[in-house]
Amino acid sequence: MTSQLAQLKAHTTVVADTGDFRLMAQFAPQDATTNPSLILKAVQKPEYAPLLADTVAAHRGAAHADIVDEVLVRFGLEILKVVPGRVSTEVDARLSFDTAATLVRARHIMGLYEAAGVPRSRVLIKVAATWEGIQAARVLEAEGIHTNLTLLFAFAQARACADAGVQLISPFVGRIYDWHKKSAGAQWDEAARAGENDPGVQSVARIWRYYKQHGVRTEVMGASFRNVGQITALAGCDLLTISPELLAQLQASDAALPRLLTPPTSTEAPEAPLSEADFRYQLNEDAMATEKLAEGIRLFAADAAKLDALIDAQLAAPASA
Give catalytic residues, as residue numbers: 126
Nearest to 155 by CA among 297, 259, 288: 288
| Planar angle of CA 230, 234, 240, nearest 5 degrees | 90
Distance from C-alpha of 316 to C-alpha of 303, rounded to nearest angstrom:
20
Instruction: Count the alpha carbons within 13 Å of 268 in the hemisphere toward its beta carbon.
Output: 7
Distance from C-alpha of 171 to C-alpha of 154, rounded to nearest angstrom:
8
Nearest to 229 by CA among 210, 213, 217, 242: 242
Distance from C-alpha of 267 to C-alpha of 252, rounded to nearest angstrom:
38
Burial class of 227 by CB neighbour count within 10 A (0 to 12, 13 to 18, 19+): middle
Nearest to 215 by CA among 168, 160, 271: 271
